[in-house]
């Protein structure tokens, strides 16, 4: 099943929603943050003890190809590795171009009603 995804422009609201998810039983291993700005992604993930999409979530071939890819390509590949279609990944990557941060929850049944 495809993960739940929400877009945010406000980091404070995003972090509040993540805290709420955790308070309601979503494990931090099921929560991922993704944005165009690696520092922003890492800062948010660190502040709320969430994950970024790293080596363990990606196919080795994609990890190696990402070394040579532009950031937009890398983000689209990461989204596809998380279960989104190529078209969805392109649309979400465009939203990240506009400064949005993505919250991805890999347990959608549990999280759907919580945020």
Q: How far is CA 75 from CA 29, 62, 72, in A?
A: 20, 11, 5
User: Which has the minimum average pLDDT: 6-10, 16-20, 76-80?
Assistant: 76-80
Q: pLDDT confidence of 67, banded at 50, 70, 90?
A: very low
pTM value is: 0.83
Distance between CA 47 and CA 79 in Å, rounded?
22
**104 in Cβ contact with 81 (< 8 Å):** no
């Amino acid at each position: 099943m495809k993960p739940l995804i929400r877009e945010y422009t406000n980091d404070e609201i995003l972090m509040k929603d993540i805290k709420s998810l955790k308070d309601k039983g979503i494990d931090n291993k099921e929560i991922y943050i993704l944005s165009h700005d690696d520092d922003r992604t890492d800062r948010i993930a660190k502040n709320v003890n969430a994950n970024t999409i790293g080596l363990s979530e990606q196919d080795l071939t994609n990890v190696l190809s990402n070394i040579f890819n532009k950031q937009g390509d890398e983000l689209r590949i990461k989204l596809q590795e998380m279960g989104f279609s190529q078209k969805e990944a392109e649309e979400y990557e465009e939203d990240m171009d506009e400064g949005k941060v993505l919250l991805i929850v890999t347990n959608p049944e549990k999280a759907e009603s919580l945020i």
